[in-house]
Each structure stands twice: as structure tokens, then as C-alpha cells.
Amino acid sequence: MILEKLDFHNIEEIYQHKNIEGVLLGRIPESVSLGLSRAGQMMMICPSGSEIRFVSRTYPVRITLSVDKIAEQLGEGIVTDAHIFFGVFHSRQRFVIKKRKTVLEINMPPNFRKMAERVTKNEPFSYNVCRIRFWGTSMGAPIRFHNIEPADKIRPPQPQEIPKLRYLAYGSSLTQGAYATGPHLCYTNQVGIRLGADVINLGSSCTAFCEPELADYIAGRNDWDFATLALSVNMVQLFSPGEFSARVSYMIDSVAKSNKRRPVFCITIKPYYGDYVESEKPGLYRKLLRKAVEASPHKNVYLIEGPELMSDVAGGLCPDMVHLGDYGMIQIGEKLAEKIRPVLKSYGLLDC
């Protein structure tokens, strides 16, 4: 979404509220969000995987943001961090966005452009593109954009300055990036790095329920080339086997048939405490997802086994035995990219 000469990546709705300064950023349109649970609606205004991108003729650039007061509903200490990248280069600058207006003064290091020109070789992002990448506890509190200065010196990135390949990811908090210490360490972005793809993150912490409204929305988007559907640890306790099968089957069918030239990778539940507790039944839900994939008439649907993506379970899990630390995210990102790469080549989506 382009607003005020800025590219709001992974943002599809701008909310304006009377008597409240700034605009609230949402990852999906409000018309789709209304079909989700209340908690799911909240997750979709958390800026996981979202960025503000621009190219500026001069630095410093000052952008003013704030955390929306709705963050209070997420609990104490929920903040949003901003990591600054120039293309693929990770700047040392970090900011914590607070409830009061927070000015991010972004500086480009001296002689950076001259050195970057010598170092880069066919990188998916131009080093001229400044990327404000959002992260934080609970994947970041909802934020409001206020302004950017100097507005007359900036422009949105041009198509040749960002990746051509586009990757859409849906899943639970693992997809959204919980517990990763930075945006680049979420497994979806690890896949994006390895495949040279731009990532659209539609992860939804604790609320990945495969709603038909969201399935139809993903299917109707024409801005992605391949997708992963991690389906879904959130449904094991809350949905019966029949409900689970019906929902995942609808999502797979809707997304896959929307364009037969877009491969869709369905990921079974990765290892978690449920594999070691008798009352849990993750094995059954993995089996049901396998059956749903096998029953699909669409040849662009592929199954990936979640347990195969993390060989070092103890090293990958956090102490809650559900979420992933940085090493777990990296493991899954590496293995997932390995499995996806040959399929993308067969579709002509990757050259090497």
C-alpha cells in the first residue's frame, strides 16, 4: 500500500479514527477481519512482518510513530521495535516505539552507498531502499503512523528495487514470529532470504483457525507467487477432527484453485509438547491434513511434514515447548527453503 510516498508493506488497511492522531495499520482489509474471532482481529493489526519502505535522496529521515492504546488489551510490557535495514543490510539502529509519539531519526552510514555498490551482487533488495521492519513482544503492538520528514525528498521503491518473487505465509504464532529476537529471524523471513522472495506474513497467534473468509481472501490476492499454509496447532484443542478437516480442506481448495501456477505448500504441525502428552493428539491432526492434501484434485498442492523441518527439537524449542527460539526458526527456514526450491524451479519461478 502506497501512502504519502511510502510503501507500507504487508499492510492492507489504514484505519482513521475520530479524535485520534495518526492512522492505525492493519495487515488485512477490515471487511475480511470482521469474519475472524475478536482475538484474530487483534492479531491482524499487530504489525508482524510489516515494513515501511522508501528511498530518500538525503538523510537523516525522521518518521513519527506511536503504539496505539489498544495495546493495553495485549497485556503489560507489549511494545513494538523497529529495526532499520538498507536493502539486505542490517543497520545498527534500533528503536522502541512507545505510546507517546516516537520520532525515529534514521541515518545512513557514511560512504555506505559507495561500498554497497561494490559488495552487492544481484541482491533482491536495492541498498537504496530503507526498510523499517517492525517487531516486538507478542509480535509487536499495533502502531500508528503520523508523518515523515523531509517528505519532499522521498519516494516509494520502484519494482526493480524489491524482489519479484512474492511469498505468502499463513499459520499460527510460529508463522507470525513469536519469540524470534528480530524480524529477519522469523522462519518465513528466513525462507524469503534463502529464496530471494518478498514475504507477506499472515500469521495469527493463537487464532489460526482457517476461517473461510480468510481462505477466500488469500485466494483472491494476485500479489503472491507461492504460499505456505501451516495448519495448525491452534486447532488441536478447540476444533473436532471433523471441523478441522472441513476447514483445512476448504482453505486448501480455495487457495490452490485460484491459480494453478501458484504452488501451495501445506505444513503439518511441527514438534511441540503435545507430542509428549497423552491428552494431546497432534498425530491425528497431522494425519487429517495429509488426507486433505491427498484428496485435493489440484496438482499445485504439496505436503510438507512439520517434524521433518526441525531435526534438533530440544535446541529449537523455547521452554514453553511450543514456540521457537532463533535456532528453531533458522532450522525451519533452512529446511523449508530446501523443500520448496525444486518445486519453484519446476514452475519457472526460480532460475537457480
Average pLDDT over the chain, rounded to an integer? 94
Whether 70 maps to a domain, the answer reads yes
User: Do residues 297 and 234 both lie within one domain?
Assistant: yes
Domain boundary residue among 96, 130, 161?
Answer: 161
The pLDDT-based confidence of 136 (bands split at 50, 70, 90) is confident
User: Do residues 214 and 314 both lie within one domain?
Assistant: yes
Q: What is the C-alpha separation between 226 and 242, in angstroms, rounded?
A: 27
Domain boundary residue among 161, 183, 206?
Answer: 161
Whether 331 maps to a domain, the answer reads yes
Whether 352 maps to a domain, the answer reads no
User: Do residues 247 and 118 both lie within one domain?
Assistant: no
Please list the residues that pair with 83 across neighbouring strands: 94, 133
The CATH number assigned to the domain holding 171 equals: 3.40.50.1110
* pTM recorded for the entire structure: 0.95
Alpha helices in the chain, H assignment, sequence order: 30-33, 38-43, 112-119, 173-176, 187-195, 212-220, 241-257, 282-295, 313-316, 326-346
CA within 13 Å, CB half, 32? 22
For the chain, the domain total comes to 2
User: Do residues 17 and 73 both lie within one domain?
Assistant: yes
Summarize pLDDT for 31-81 with one digit per residue, the tens. 999 999 999 999 999 998 999 999 999 999 999 999 998 877 766 667 799
Whether 60 maps to a domain, the answer reads yes
Summarize pLDDT for 259-315 with one digit per residue, the tens. 999 999 999 999 999 998 877 799 999 999 999 999 999 999 999 999 999 999 999
User: Do residues 199 and 80 both lie within one domain?
Assistant: no
The letter for the amino acid at 144 is: R
Whether 216 maps to a domain, the answer reads yes
pLDDT attached to residue 261 = 97
Whether 157 maps to a domain, the answer reads yes
Pairing of strands 264-267, 301-304: parallel
The CATH number assigned to the domain holding 144 equals: 2.60.120.260
Whether 253 maps to a domain, the answer reads yes
User: Do residues 178 and 250 both lie within one domain?
Assistant: yes
Whether 36 maps to a domain, the answer reads yes
User: Do residues 207 and 329 both lie within one domain?
Assistant: yes
User: Do residues 156 and 248 both lie within one domain?
Assistant: no
pLDDT attached to residue 74 = 66
% of the chain surpassing 70 pLDDT: 97
pLDDT attached to residue 137 = 64
User: Do residues 85 and 203 both lie within one domain?
Assistant: no
User: Do residues 187 and 309 both lie within one domain?
Assistant: yes
Domain boundary residue among 119, 146, 161?
Answer: 161
Summarize pLDDT for 313-335 with one digit per residue, the tens. 999 999 999 999 999 999 999 99
pLDDT attached to residue 77 = 66
User: Do residues 56 and 75 both lie within one domain?
Assistant: yes
Which range of residues forms the domain containing residue 299?
165-346
CA within 13 Å, CB half, 294? 6
User: Do residues 174 and 141 both lie within one domain?
Assistant: no
pLDDT attached to residue 278 = 77
Distances (CA, A) of 143 to 71, 241, 260: 9, 37, 36
Q: What is the C-alpha separation between 252 and 296, in angstroms, rounded?
A: 8
